[in-house]
Structures are given as structure tokens and as C-alpha cells.
């Protein structure tokens, strides 16, 4: 059979007939890699069309009747939308050492203890390594089955068996190799082939599948972006390895909400769910120090009290330093410009540092008001009122705009006993602050 080469983008899956430094579809650089495919046999360059498939009525189509199987963790079931859907494919990404394998081995142990037959298919660890880790995590069980191999066809054979496992965990996609594709394990072609073969086999057998994916230096799940489109659910486990907490975020979910998260605490025996993470990220906060503000942020459907820290120090540099950890640096620059313009606060000679306590990373626009209060507190070297909580978005005019989840934030702040509360006015005559001038007057007048 004649073959030809084409070049596929690792980011967007775009195809180019020749190699280019820049992908013509997404514009990313150095993402095209060669892929060998069978050449078309027709002289006109187009293969003969397949026979048309008549469309079917969705109303008359029989239901599959499958129900999601519980994982043994009620909070994880909530995040997944009810549990492990039959034939559902889940992609779990995260940095090395963040706890992906630990979480999945604990999950497999729970399923085995409940009488089911999960299989942990590892291309990274030997069986003896898996056994010692399962023993340390106290999840070793006779029903916990494991395979140590890098041959993806063996995993497909498990799914094609007349008695398939109740769950197959493939750890990780980048270590598995498919004989149907060329290239080394972890290459774009191999990752695409392995993912598609496993997902198709899982859907045929009705077995839930969990794929573990590595991440790039930019924090994106490695491999072609097409891999995320193949699966039903994309989860991301994040956090600082030096901190005890981990956050499991849902980036995509065909069976449930996409704005959920789950907070874990890393302990000696593995990851444990934090039942009430409302104030978990405040840590040992000292309210008497300047530059510290508590923000009632919303991640998913949960309001979390987080600490926003800021430091304004005199700069000895020609261009003052601006550093942000856990918050968007562009948003910090914008906020500093608004403070200078609307309040006349001269920050041009100060180095400004901002971060979220506990190593968190958030993009909630409701952080703006707390970040502005923390910067002003550090600049004036005056602590904010004890128990004060902030949330609201600051626009370019210095006005404070409402953010989503206002009622949820307000209810949680009152439940935790915080006060005074600083938030956008929902309407005329309502309680709250309207702009940065009113905030500055309320805090420092």
C-alpha cells in the first residue's frame, strides 16, 4: 500500500501537507510532527464514498439503561455527575508528583473493597512497586488487579474480554505504545492512537476508563488537543507539592457540571477529602498585619474564604517590580493603574507583590476588591478591620461591579461570622460600596 506523510499539530490537531515552523491553524510554533498515512487509491484524490447511513429518530432510540456506578467517595461522585458512567472515558491531568497515581490507586482499592474488579494498567511502575504503594495507602485488597506493561493492545484486550473489568485505569497514556501507529511512546501519533483505541474499546464494552495524562511546562495536558475531545470528562489535579492540599477541577464533563471542584489534603495514608474547605486556605492568618485581606471567592459551586496578600515596598529600581502569584498578573497591572488614576495613590515608586495564601491559583473576578484593599493596606501600612471580607469586580472607572454567586458569598460570609462586609451594591440604596473612593474612605478615613 502506498503511503504519504502529513504533519499534524500537537495543539489543535490541524493537518498540513508539509512541515512548517508555525501551525497554519492555531498559530503555535514548533508543534507540527510527521505522521505516515495510507495514500488515496483514487486518481482524483478522493476515496469512493461510503454508503449513506439513514438517520434515526432520537425519540424512538432505545435507552442504554446504564447507571453511573458510585466510586465510594460521595464528593467525587458529585464532581463526576453521579459516579463512573458506563463506557465513560475520563482524562486526569496534573504535574508529576501531584498525586494522580495516589488518588487513582485509592479509588481502585475502594472499588475492590466494595466487591468490584478494577484493573490498574500501569506503564510506569512494576507490580511490586504498585503493591508496596497500595500497602502504604492501606488500599491493598485481593480484588485489586494490576498489569504492568507498555503495550496498549493488552489494555484493549482486557476491555474486549467477555468479562471486562469494572474500571480500567491507564497510567499513563504517554508511556503506552500502540502497534497501529509509528513513533516512540509519547509522540503525537502514539498518544492519539492509544487514546482512540482505548476509548473505542471502553465504549464497546461499557467499562469506565480513566486515562492519566502528563502536562507540559505551560500546565497543559501533554499530547494532541484532540485527546481532550475524545474523552467525556477532563479532570485536572493541581496544587503545590510542598503544600498539603490538592484541588481537583472539572474542565469538561458530558455527564455533569463543569464548574465543580474537590479539595483534598495529602496525608501519610494518601489523599483525604476536605469536607468543609470554606476556611481551609486561610491557614494561620494574622489579621493584625497590613496587606492582608480575606476574599469570599467562588470556585465551582463552593464559596471559599481565601487570603489575598499584597506588599507595597519602596523601589530602588528604574522600573518598579510587579509580581503576582496565584492571581493574573495582567489584572494586577490593570488594578494598579486604576488605583493611581481614580484615588491618586502614587504607586509608581513602589515594588508591588501580590499572592494568594496557601499556594492557590484563581481567576475569580471577585478577587479584585480584596486585592485593591490589600494593596492600599500595605501602601498605608494600616491593617484592615478584623473580620472584614471583600468581593467584587473593579472596572476601569473605579466602580465596583457585582459578580456571580453574590447571594452564595453573602450567605457563607454571614454563616462564618465575618464582618464588616464589603461588596458591590446590588441596587440603589442597598448596602455595599459603589466605587474605590467609597472603599478607601470606609477603610482609612
CATH code for position 171: 3.40.50.300
* 165 within domain boundaries: yes
* 84 within domain boundaries: yes
* 55 within domain boundaries: no
Range of the domain at 22: 3-38
Co-location of 106 and 246 in the same domain:
yes
Co-location of 129 and 28 in the same domain:
no
Q: What is the rounded distance in angstroms from the CA atom of residue 170 to the CA atom of residue 334?
A: 44
- Rounded to 10°, the helix 329-343/367-380 angle is 60
Co-location of 161 and 212 in the same domain:
yes
Co-location of 251 and 374 in the same domain:
no
The three grid cell numbers given for residue 62, joined into one nine-digit string: 432505545
State the CATH number of the domain containing residue 349. 3.30.230.10
Q: What is the rounded distance in angstroms from the CA atom of residue 414 to the CA atom of residue 394?
A: 23
* 66 within domain boundaries: no
Task: Determine whether the annotation assigns residue 44 to a binding site.
Answer: no
pLDDT per residue, tens digit, the chain (445 aa), is 567 788 888 777 778 888 888 888 888 888 888 877 766 554 445 455 567 778 878 787 676 656 888 898 888 988 888 899 999 999 999 888 889 999 999 999 999 999 999 999 999 999 999 999 999 999 999 999 999 999 999 999 999 999 999 999 999 898 999 988 877 888 888 888 899 999 999 999 999 999 998 876 655 665 556 678 889 999 999 877 777 888 898 888 988 877 778 889 888 888 998 877 777 778 778 888 999 999 999 887 778 899 999 999 999 998 999 999 999 999 999 999 999 999 999 999 999 999 998 778 888 999 999 999 999 999 999 999 989 999 999 999 999 999 999 999 999 999 889 989 999 987 655 568 999 999 999 999 8
Task: Determine whether the annotation assigns residue 99 to a binding site.
Answer: yes
* 59 within domain boundaries: no
* 51 within domain boundaries: no
Burial of 380 (0-12, 13-18, 19+ CB in 10 A): middle
Backbone angles phi, psi at 415, to 5 degrees: -65, -35
Q: What is the rounded distance in angstroms from the CA atom of residue 73 to the CA atom of residue 437?
A: 47
Cell numbers 508539509 correspond to 18
Task: Determine whether the annotation assigns residue 411 to a binding site.
Answer: no
Q: What is the rounded distance in angstroms from the CA atom of residue 235 to the CA atom of residue 249?
A: 6
Task: Determine whether the annotation assigns residue 320 to a binding site.
Answer: no
Co-location of 376 and 415 in the same domain:
yes
Co-location of 161 and 32 in the same domain:
no
Co-location of 416 and 311 in the same domain:
yes
Co-location of 135 and 267 in the same domain:
yes
Tally of domains within the chain: 3
- Cα 47 to Cα 40, 41, 57, 182: the distances in Å are 6, 7, 29, 23
Co-location of 135 and 251 in the same domain:
yes
Co-location of 383 and 440 in the same domain:
yes
Co-location of 176 and 250 in the same domain:
yes
* 47 within domain boundaries: no
Task: Determine whether the annotation assigns residue 94 to a binding site.
Answer: yes
Task: Determine whether the annotation assigns residue 96 to a binding site.
Answer: yes
Co-location of 309 and 388 in the same domain:
yes
Amino acid at each position: 500500500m502506498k503511503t504519504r506523510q502529513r504533519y499534524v499539530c500537537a495543539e489543535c490537531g490541524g493537518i498540513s501537507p508539509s512541515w512548517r515552523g508555525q501551525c497554519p491553524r492555531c498559530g503555535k510554533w514548533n508543534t507540527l510532527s510527521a505522521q505516515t498515512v495510507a495514500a488515496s487509491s483514487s486518481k482524483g484524490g478522493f476515496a469512493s464514498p461510503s454508503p449513506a447511513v439513514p438517520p434515526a429518530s432520537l425519540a424512538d432510540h432505545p435507552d442504554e439503561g446504564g447507571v453511573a456506578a458510585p466510586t465510594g467517595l460521595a464528593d467525587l461522585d458529585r464532581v463526576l455527575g453521579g459516579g463512573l458512567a458506563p463506557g465513560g472515558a475520563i482524562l486526569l491531568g496534573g504535574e508529576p508528583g501531584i498525586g494522580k497515581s495516589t488518588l487513582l490507586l485509592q479509588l481502585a482499592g475502594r472499588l475492590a473493597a466494595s466487591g468490584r474488579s478494577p484493573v490498574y494498567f500501569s506503564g510506569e511502575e512494576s507490580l511490586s512497586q504498585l503493591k508496596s504503594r497500595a500497602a502504604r495507602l492501606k488500599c491493598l485488597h485481593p480484588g485489586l488487579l494490576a498489569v504492568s506493561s507498555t503495550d496498549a493492545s493488552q489494555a484493549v484486550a482486557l476491555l474486549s474480554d467477555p468479562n471486562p473489568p469494572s474500571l480500567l485505569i491507564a497510567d499513563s497514556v504517554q508511556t503506552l505504545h500502540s502497534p497501529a501507529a509509528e513513533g516512540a511512546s509519547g509522540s503525537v501519533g502514539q498518544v492519539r492512537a492509544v487514546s482512540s483505541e482505548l476509548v473505542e474499546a471502553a465504549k464497546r464494552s461499557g467499562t469506565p476508563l480513566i486515562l492519566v495524562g502528563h502536562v507540559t511546562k505551560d500546565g497543559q495536558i501533554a499530547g494532541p488537543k484532540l485527546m481532550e475531545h475524545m474523552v467525556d470528562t477532563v479532570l485536572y489535579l493541581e496544587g503545590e507539592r510542598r503544600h498539603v492540599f490538592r484541588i481537583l477541577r472539572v474542565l469538561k464533563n458530558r455527564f455533569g457540571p463543569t464548574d465543580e471542584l474537590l479539595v483534598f489534603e495529602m496525608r501519610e495514608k494518601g489523599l483525604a477529602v476536605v469536607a468543609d474547605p470554606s476556611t481551609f486556605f486561610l491557614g494561620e492568618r494574622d489579621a493584625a498585619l497590613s496587606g492582608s485581606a480575606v476574599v469570599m471567592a467562588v470556585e465551582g459551586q463552593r464559596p471559599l474564604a481565601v487570603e489575598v496578600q499584597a506588599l507595597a515596598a519602596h523601589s530602588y529600581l528604574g522600573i518598579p517590580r510587579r509580581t503576582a502569584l496565584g492571581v493574573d498578573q495582567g489584572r494586577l497591572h490593570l488594578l494598579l493603574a486604576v488605583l493611581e488614576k481614580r484615588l491618586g495613590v502614587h504607586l509608581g515608586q513602589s515594588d508591588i507583590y501580590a499572592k494568594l495564601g496557601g499556594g492557590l491559583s484563581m481567576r475569580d473576578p471577585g478577587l479584585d476588591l480584596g486585592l485593591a484593599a490589600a494593596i492600599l493596606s500595605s501602601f498605608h501600612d494600616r491593617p484592615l478591620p478584623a473580620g472584614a471580607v471583600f468581593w467584587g469586580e473593579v472596572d476601569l472607572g473605579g466602580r465596583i461591579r457585582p459578580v456571580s454567586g453574590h447571594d452564595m458569598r453573602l450567605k457563607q460570609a454571614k454563616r462564618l461570622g465575618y464582618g464588616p462586609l464589603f461588596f458591590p451594591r446590588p441596587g440603589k440604596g442597598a448596602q455595599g460600596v459603589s466605587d474605590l473612593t467609597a472603599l478607601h474612605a470606609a477603610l482609612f478615613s
